[in-house]
């Protein structure tokens, strides 16, 4: 086993990885940008080294700086977390070259799965069902038109190098193809430095269901069941759960086998996720994420398996600690991503100081966070404050417990999406488990409910401000919620 590991990340995921290291008796090394000099991950680690600067490019994305620190600190391995360099094949390669273990798959596997077109082709060859679409990248408008009419509209134009839902365009009819192509090409070039695009059939009312897999260096590959990630906004996940409300033991066996086959097809090693689009009993591979995912805790809650510890053990050359037959899913887990953002202002990021903070607790509640009272959420990175995860014996208990935990959550200062999450959890369709990826857009009352919840909470917020001795004008927030409701009512009357 390793003695010392560097965590090339920040905030909640850096702390999450360091927790696993501590339990395994391994020394942890943090790296930090200027604004993170007093972040939790910096102080949690046994050693910490400055990156100097704040912009991701000069800090958490700077391969040279990170490798230099790793060498000077004499670490045996690096854990990349998610985001930043986690899916950057050059970083994994730089580690391999320096004799530092990258806690993740090989640079070759990252590269193969990092390009969605190559991933599709590889999976197709391995007998994994993929969404109907172009065989390779689409270079010309003529080619695009031919493929689109062959598979039938609507189609989806995607960036080969895409991620984070960036650049995707739905095209309903041939006349709109040219503009959408141009748009995705331009976005792909500026966001990923790669103009390659391809076409997929747009599955109209799908769910997003993904499978967690683990693979060691001895050829053992297992799956840990599914995560339902259908509740999304702009192709980005908001709330995740396990198991999926539509899962049956037979479907899980089928999808799990396909996920394992997908991993085996590329001799994948370490933790990974196979993402599927699911519709009416059919499922299709969309991509593989070659890293630990934001939503991994829901799998940990229902299986009892510490995914990050498994990642570290695998990277150290140990065999998987569980066999497929030993994996049991028990109860139900839900995760909410708690973000500093303003749901009533188009979810604009709301960075700034946490003037008062108290996280929920009690039976079945887990909070993964990198914050504390007086911590200022910097504007340079993700505005995620924490991940709130609950476990219950069944979905109904998990929902009630999440509602109870959200009720307990105290955040004074930045705006958060908590009122919006409360509106989602109270929604009848959500409670029945009957939703598709269009849920947020279709449920037009969610924002009105959010505004109503905000107004209802206003006296409590004022009280909290007095308790935390915060001198901030709350009247503006209440007025904004009120104005939103008025506007909404006028709109409804006009219908």
Per CB under 6 A, residues contacting ligand ADP are 82-83, 131, 156, 162-166, 200-203, 206, 208, 232, 235-237, 275, 277, 286-287, 293-295, 382, 437
Q: Which is nearer to ligand ADP, 31 or 156 (CB)?
A: 156
Q: Which is nearer to ligand ADP, 75 or 131 (CB)?
A: 131
Is position 323 annotated as part of the catalytic site?
Answer: no
SS3 at position 337: strand
Q: Which is nearer to ligand ADP, 73 or 195 (CB)?
A: 195
Q: With contact defined as beta carbons under 8 Å apart, do 307 and 333 qualify? A: no
SS3 at position 223: strand
Q: Which is nearer to ligand ADP, 273 or 450 (CB)?
A: 273
Which residues have a Cβ under 8 Å from the Cβ of 92 and sit 6 or more positions away? 102, 104, 105, 106, 107, 110
Rounded CA separation 145/149 (Å): 6
Burial (CB < 10 A; 0-12, 13-18, 19+), residue 358, is middle
CB of 81 to ligand ADP, least distance (A): 9
Q: Which is nearer to ligand ADP, 163 or 351 (CB)?
A: 163
Q: Which is nearer to ligand ADP, 70 or 166 (CB)?
A: 166
Q: Is the dihedral of CA 228, 232, 236, 241 positive or negative?
A: negative
CB of 229 to ligand ADP, least distance (A): 7
Q: Which is nearer to ligand ADP, 163 or 349 (CB)?
A: 163
Q: Which of 291, 366, 395, 401 is catalytic?
A: 291
The H or E element that residue 339 is part of is strand 332-339
CB of 31 to ligand ADP, least distance (A): 17
Q: What letters, b where the CB count within 10 A reaches 16 and e where it falls short, cover 101-119?
A: bbbbbbbebbbbbbbbbeb
Residue whose tokens read 């053992």: 220
SS3 at position 27: strand
In the chain the first and final C-alpha atoms are separated, in Å, by 65
CB of 310 to ligand ADP, least distance (A): 17
Return the bridge partners of 431, or none. Answer: none
CB of 130 to ligand ADP, least distance (A): 9
Please give the C-alpha separations between residue 421 and each of 55, 61, 165, 244, 302, in angstroms, as whole numbers: 30, 31, 20, 18, 22
CB of 203 to ligand ADP, least distance (A): 4
CB of 230 to ligand ADP, least distance (A): 7
Tokens for 309, please give them: 């510890």
Rounded CA separation 173/437 (Å): 21
- List of long-range contacts for 174-180, beta carbons under 8 Å, 24+ apart: 174/145, 174/148, 174/149, 177/141, 177/144, 177/145, 177/148, 178/141
Q: Which is nearer to ligand ADP, 234 or 323 (CB)?
A: 234
The C-alpha angle 95, 267, 134, rounded to 5 degrees, equals 100
CB of 299 to ligand ADP, least distance (A): 12
The catalytic site residues sit at: 291
């Amino acid at each position: 086993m390793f003695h010392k590991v560097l965590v090339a990340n920040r905030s909640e995921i850096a702390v999450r990885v360091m927790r696993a290291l501590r339990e395994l008796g391994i020394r942890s090394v943090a790296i930090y940008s200027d604004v993170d000099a007093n972040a939790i991950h910096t102080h949690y680690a046994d050693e910490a080294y400055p990156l100097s600067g704040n912009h991701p490019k000069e800090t958490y994305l700077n391969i040279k700086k990170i490798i230099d620190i790793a060498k000077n600190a004499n670490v045996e391995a690096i854990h990349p977390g998610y985001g930043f360099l986690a899916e950057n094949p050059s970083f994994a390669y730089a580690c391999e070259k320096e004799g530092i273990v990258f806690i993740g798959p090989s640079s070759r596997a990252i590269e193969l799965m990092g390009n969605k077109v190559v991933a599709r082709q590889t999976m197709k060859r391995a007998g994994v069902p993929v969404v109907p679409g172009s065989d390779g990248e689409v270079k010309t408008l003529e080619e695009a038109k031919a493929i689109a009419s062959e598979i039938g509209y609507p189609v989806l134009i995607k960036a080969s190098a895409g991620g984070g839902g960036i650049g995707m365009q739905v095209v309903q009819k041939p006349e709109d193809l040219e503009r959408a192509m141009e748009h995705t090409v331009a976005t792909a070039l500026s966001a990923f430095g790669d103009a390659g695009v391809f076409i997929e059939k747009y599955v109209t009312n799908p769910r997003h269901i993904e499978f967690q897999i683990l693979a060691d260096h001895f050829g053992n590959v297992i799956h840990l069941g599914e995560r339902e990630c259908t509740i999304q906004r702009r192709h980005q996940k908001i709330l995740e759960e396990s198991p999926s409300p539509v899962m049956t033991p037979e479907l899980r066996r089928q999808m799990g086998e396909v996920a394992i086959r997908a991993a085996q097809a590329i001799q994948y090693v370490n933790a990974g996720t196979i993402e599927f689009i699911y519709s009416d009993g059919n499922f299709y591979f969309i991509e593989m994420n070659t890293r630990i995912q934001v939503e991994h805790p829901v799998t940990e809650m229902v299986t009892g398996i510490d995914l990050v510890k498994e990642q570290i053990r695998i990277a150290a050359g140990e065999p998987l600690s569980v066999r497929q037959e030993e994996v049991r899913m028990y109860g139900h887990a839900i995760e909410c991503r708690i973000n500093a953002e303003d749901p009533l202002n188009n979810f604009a990021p709301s960075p700034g100081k946490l003037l008062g903070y108290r996280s929920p607790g009690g039976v079945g509640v887990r909070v993964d966070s990198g914050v504390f009272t007086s911590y200022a959420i910097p504007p340079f990175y993700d505005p995620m404050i924490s991940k709130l995860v609950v476990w219950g014996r069944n979905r109904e208990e998990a929902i009630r417990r999440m509602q109870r935990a959200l009720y307990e959550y105290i955040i004074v200062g930045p705006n958060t999406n908590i009122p919006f999450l409360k509106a989602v959890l109270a929604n009848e369709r959500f409670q029945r488990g009957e939703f598709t990826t269009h849920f947020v857009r279709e449920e037009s009352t969610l924002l009105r409910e959010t505004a109503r919840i905000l107004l209802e909470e206003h006296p409590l917020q004022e009280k909290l401000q007095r308790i935390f001795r915060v001198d901030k004008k709350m009247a503006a927030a209440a007025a904004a919620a009120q104005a939103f409701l008025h506007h909404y009512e006028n709109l409804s009357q006009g219908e």
